[in-house]
Amino acid sequence: MSETLLELRNVTRVFKLSQGVFRRAETLTAVANVSLQVKRGEVFALVGESGSGKTTLAKMLLGLLPPTSGEILVGGKPIGAKDRVAVSGRVQPIFQDPYSSLNPRKSIAQLIILPLVVHGVGDRASRRAKVVEMLDLVGLSRRYYDAYPGQLSGGQRQRVAIARALILRPEVVICDEPTSALDVSVQAQILNLLLELKRELGLTYFFISHNLAVVEHLADRVAVMYLGRFVEQRSRAGLFAAPRHPYTRALLDSVLTPDPDLGVPDTRIGTLTIASESGCPFQPRCPSAIDICRTAPPAIRTLRSGWTTCHLVEEEAVPVP
């Protein structure tokens, strides 16, 4: 049984949006009662569109945002605000936008060396050697050592971000849409690099993406997020063979493979992206909604390869091991 590196227990995050001096602040529940476990050596993919809360979840996993309620555990130990430095040695991020994730005023070497400096690892000479080692590892020419981000392409910048994330040899890497802003050919290079590094360094990935084709290629387990809640969590094979939640089905139908004989699918989900007050959050858009969906929030239905929250799904008996 693989060790659990990262865990969230009933984590909720609520934002208060000030409406000015004279009106009461509105609350926005970005993440609602999410629980998950990331095991060592796996790729756990989180799928969600804009407004799903996936970025807020990532920030909480990185210790950048405290949860309003619930616990976050790294290596089995709950973390608080004071543990941020310790946690940072074990959990590191790779962000989506290669143009805003690197300080434009710092050289590549200064960017990659920062984690070593902050954590007081090694001396000047050994740190420089490590930076060169990381450049080799991510496939960047050493002549970029003193270059500035402005001189590098998107793909090259993302490699720098990867080098920076891995220099402390973290156990978990939180990848927040690391290839969404890149060209197709560059995306393939970076994904290949991520797979290779995972094998070489024994990494665990928490991979956030809206691109289901990429998720199918990389993930071991997948969770689908909608308006702050997990609506389905399955093994990769289980989810792609038989998606159960209507939202997951719509997402999967929206994946456009380069097949000229197929047209554009009609997913039949509505355009209203606000949650309903009661009942299932997806109900306003769901093509299969029934009466109970409007009134009662759906309970967890266990499936053979995971679970989902939908009134229309029957429970499946989990085979006894």
Q: Does 102 bind another protein (CB under 8 A)?
A: yes
Give just the sign of the alpha carbon dihedral 278, 281, 282, 285: positive
Q: Does 97 bind another protein (CB under 8 A)?
A: yes
Q: State the pairing for strand pair 300-303/221-226.
A: unpaired
Query: Which residues pair with residue 308 across a beta bridge?
Result: 232, 301
Pair of tokens at residue 292: 């109970």
Nearer to another protein by Cβ, of 151 and 302: the residue is: 151
The C-alpha atoms of residue 167 and residue 109 are separated, in whole angstroms, by: 12
Among 82, 261, 291, 319, binds another protein (CB under 8 A): 261
Alpha-carbon torsion angle 187, 190, 192, 193, nearest 10: 180
Pair of tokens at residue 309: 């929250």
The C-alpha atoms of residue 37 and residue 203 are separated, in whole angstroms, by: 15
Nearer to another protein by Cβ, of 142 and 317: the residue is: 142
SS3 assignment, position 145: coil
The C-alpha atoms of residue 93 and residue 288 are separated, in whole angstroms, by: 38
Q: Stretches 33-41, 101-109, 286-294, 309-317: which one binds another protein (CB under 8 A)?
A: 101-109
Among 13, 159, 164, 245, binds another protein (CB under 8 A): 164
Q: Does 184 bind another protein (CB under 8 A)?
A: yes
Shortest separation between residue 130's beta carbon and another protein, angstroms: 9
| Phi–psi pair at 248, nearest 5 degrees | -60, -40
Among 264, 291, 314, 320, binds another protein (CB under 8 A): 264
Among 54, 159, 229, 236, binds another protein (CB under 8 A): 236
Shortest separation between residue 154's beta carbon and another protein, angstroms: 8
Among 20, 24, 81, 258, binds another protein (CB under 8 A): 258
Placement of tokens 């709950």 in the chain: 78
Pair of tokens at residue 123: 């001396």
Nearer to another protein by Cβ, of 155 and 298: the residue is: 155
Nearer to another protein by Cβ, of 31 and 218: the residue is: 218
Among 8, 38, 74, 95, binds another protein (CB under 8 A): 95
Shortest separation between residue 203's beta carbon and another protein, angstroms: 14
Concatenate the DSSP letters of all residues of 83-108 into one string.
GHHHHHTTEEEE-S-TTTSS-TTS-H
Nearer to another protein by Cβ, of 73 and 147: the residue is: 147
Q: Does 16 bind another protein (CB under 8 A)?
A: no
Residue 131 makes CB contacts below 8 A (sequence gap 6+) with: 109, 112, 113, 145, 163, 167
Shortest separation between residue 43's beta carbon and another protein, angstroms: 9
Q: Does 217 bind another protein (CB under 8 A)?
A: yes
Nearer to another protein by Cβ, of 73 and 86: the residue is: 86
Residue 71 makes CB contacts below 8 A (sequence gap 6+) with: 7, 8, 9, 10, 11, 78
Pair of tokens at residue 35: 């629980």
Q: Does 81 bind another protein (CB under 8 A)?
A: no
Among 104, 277, 291, 314, binds another protein (CB under 8 A): 104
Among 192, 278, 295, 302, binds another protein (CB under 8 A): 192
Q: Does 82 bind another protein (CB under 8 A)?
A: no
- The footprint of another protein on this chain (CB under 8 A) covers a number of residues equal to 90
Residue 300 makes CB contacts below 8 A (sequence gap 6+) with: 307, 308, 309
Q: Does 96 bind another protein (CB under 8 A)?
A: yes
Placement of tokens 């008996």 in the chain: 317
Shortest separation between residue 145's beta carbon and another protein, angstroms: 4
